[in-house]
Amino acid sequence: MVMFHVTRVETKPYEGQKPGTSGLRKKVKVFTQPHYTENFVQSTFNALSTDKVRGATIVVSGDGRYFSKDAIQIIIKMAAANGVRRVWVGQNGLLSTPAVSAVIRERVGHDGSRATGAFILTASHNPGGPNEDFGIKYNMENGGPAPEAITDKIYENTKTIKEYFIAEDLPHVDISAIDVTSFGGPEGPFDVDVFDSASDYVKLMKSIFDFQSIQKLLSSPSFSFCFDGLHGVAGAYAKRIFVEELGAPESSLLNCTPKEDFGGGHPDPNLTYAKELVACMGLGKSNSQDEPPEFGAAADGDADRNMILGKRFFVTPSDSVAIIAANAVEAIPYFSSGLKGVARSMPTSAALDVVAKHLNLKFFEVPTGWKFFGNLMDAGLCSVCGEESFGTGSDHIREKDGIWAVLAWLSILAHKNKENLDGKKLVSVGDIVRQHWATYGRHYYTRYDYENVDSGAAKELMAYLIKLQSSLSEVNKIIKGICSDVSKVVHADEFEYKDPVDGSISKHQGIRYLFEDGSRLVFRLSGTGSEGATIRLYIEQYEKDPSKTGKDSQEALSPLVEVALKLSKMEEFTGRSAPTVIT
């Protein structure tokens, strides 16, 4: 057995190692500065309780982006030096974020061991490569991201760090082959267990969904399917699940070989960045004569986000979670005994609220960010949840889950088409969504993003909107002067959330203007931008009348958009006459 020694290395703090809820995200060039990565990893070990480090089993893997392989070797050596007993690594260092969550919750090692946490190496949907982003995030024993108490501690540690520990003489571990390698250190044995990246996750998916019925759908000549992995880690799971398990042809997969630089693209599943898929589904300015597939989907770099498309049809993420919730009990075996509750983030449209009301389900509106759902799930209060930012998931893990969302939609399609697979006309994605609107009404929805706005200007705009809220009659007077076509504001506030589980209060979670007819305007500053400020404006209008649910959403929303822009004095404050992105 190869023996290793522990080296104590002296170091000095770096500024700015504050992890957000999605971990520490910086340019690769920042991470590769001397001791930078090591400082952060040691600060994380020091923030955990001793039993989660000494003698513990931890997972290390990620979306395969540039610098991951080097970071994995560093973390293995530092884990060994800090007394960790075992490190579990997905083959080639690949594990999607949802798969990491599944591995922590489900995987049992050869010796009966279980993981107590994970370093996930990803910057999610941000581009990758030597000049792009890298990230490290730590997830806890429940499979979810470290809570603020831990990330705050990590940050404090990074500001005072003086030393880190590393097994410099531990040989480079081959992470391309499935195997367990054992080493001997001052505190006893240390193992690196390289395992198949997909099998635990596939097993979990098979326990949730009826694979046989999805297989029947996929093999029906009248059905066709396309999945875009955007060169991220989702490709590894797509091959295993859609092709090997469910029998879809290889040709239905686009960009499903994970690449360190995501093929130079932006691995974010939306109508702007998933260009190939969008064209293939007959959306956008495609000149292709081919008939688009019935169903299309994409996931982001680390496979926790998703986008769902039908033939020439875009499903908004807000509608997607509502439709999954409405059909879950019938179409997905995991939910057959009922939903414990449902939840959405505040800026997500109220489509889910209407479903919850109809089905008499517990409902929660939480601030933006998956951690709030995690708390509800740990307390058994929530089964299905989603966000407008292309995140959908359930309590099977404690992360959002792109492949799960695709399987949920395939399950609904399989369920609705049980009798149609022998050549009858299929119920399409568009039919399902339109049917949903006919039953529950439609929430027209759009988001305007103003990226890289001067931070001071963005704060002033927000302060102005808060000040305006002190007089609703004044607000309504201004609105009447802008447009007579919208109803009146009946409530306005800054969203605040009291977590029903731990009682913690989150303030300043976005500014809301709620209208009498159910319409909403929401203004929020993004928490994930890296340059300047990003203002997000969410515009939503509820239409109950089934004869009016078929309009183009930008058209239907144009009066409210005008009100939002003029009421907020968007151009005056930001100098922008148009948003950077409209979704």
Q: Which of 19, 269, 292, 369 binds ligand G6P (CB under 6 A)?
A: 369
CB 199 within 8 A of CB 45: no
Q: Which does 300 bind (CB under 5 to 8 A by kind): ligand G6P, Zn ion, none?
A: Zn ion
Output 171 or 527, the one with its CB closest to ligand G6P: 527
When the beta carbons of 416 and 536 are compared against ligand G6P, the nearer one is 536
Q: Does 392 bind Zn ion (CB under 5 A)?
A: no
> Contact between 508 and ligand G6P (CB under 6 A)?
no
Residue 294 interacting with Zn ion (CB under 5 A): no
**R_g (Cα) of the chain, nearest Å:** 24
Q: Which does 302 bind (CB under 5 to 8 A by kind): ligand G6P, Zn ion, none?
A: Zn ion
Among residues 138, 195, 227, 370, which is the contact residue for ligand G6P, using CB under 6 A? 370
User: Using CA atoms, how far apart are residues 157 and 159, in angstroms rounded to an integer?
Assistant: 5
Q: Which of 96, 101, 124, 197 is catalytic?
A: 124
Could you tell me which residues are beta bridge partners of residue 582?
A: 448
**What are the Cα distances from residue 246, in Å, to 20, 199, 232, 249?**
37, 15, 21, 9
Of 157, 197, 327, 368, which one interacts with ligand G6P (CB under 6 A)?
368
Q: Does 39 bind Zn ion (CB under 5 A)?
A: no
> Does 91 interact with ligand G6P (rule: CB under 6 A)?
no
Min dist. Cβ of residue 168 to ligand G6P (A): 35
Strand partners, 537: 448, 523
* Residues sharing a CB contact under 8 Å with residue 330, sequence separation 6 or more, in sequence order: 415
Q: Can you tell me which residue has the tokens 């509820």?
A: 542
**Contacts with 313 (C-beta within 8 Å, 6 or more apart), sequence order:** 281, 283, 428, 429, 430, 433
Residues 207-226 that bind Zn ion (CB under 5 A): none
506 labelled catalytic = no
Q: Are 298 and 227 in contact (CB under 8 A)?
A: yes
Q: Which of 113, 142, 199, 526 binds ligand G6P (CB under 6 A)?
A: 526
Min separation Cβ 144 and ligand G6P, Å: 11
344 contacts ligand G6P (rule: CB under 6 A): no
Q: Which residues contact 77 (CB under 8 A, 6 or more apart)?
A: 166, 167, 168, 170
Least separation in angstroms between residue 458's CB and Zn ion is: 24
Question: How far is residue 450's CA from residue 480's CA, in Å, rounded to a whole number?
Answer: 25
Q: Which residue shows structure tokens 């490709």?
A: 235
Measured from the CB of residue 346, what is the shortest distance to Zn ion in angstroms? 20
Site for Zn ion in 299-358 (CB under 5 A): 300, 302, 304-305
Minimum distance between the CB of residue 369 and Zn ion, rounded to whole angstroms?
Answer: 13
Pairing of strands 295-299, 253-254: unpaired
The mark string for 416-445 relative to ligand G6P (x by CB under 6 A, - otherwise) is ------------------------------
Q: N- to C-terminal Cα distance for the chain?
A: 56
Contact status: 411 vs ligand G6P (CB under 6 A): no
| Position 22 contacts ligand G6P (CB under 6 A) | yes
Q: Which long-range contacts (CB under 8 A, 24 or more apart) does 492-495 make?
A: 492/468, 493/469, 494/466, 494/469, 495/346, 495/367
- Shortest reach from residue 537's CB to Zn ion, in Å: 23
Minimum CB–partner distance for residue 370 and ligand G6P (Å): 4
Phi and psi angles of residue 308, each rounded to the nearest 5 degrees, phi first: -115, 130
Binding positions for Zn ion, rule: CB under 5 A: 124, 300, 302, 304-305
Residues involved in catalysis: 124
Binding positions for ligand G6P, rule: CB under 6 A: 22, 345, 368-370, 387, 389, 391, 526-528, 536
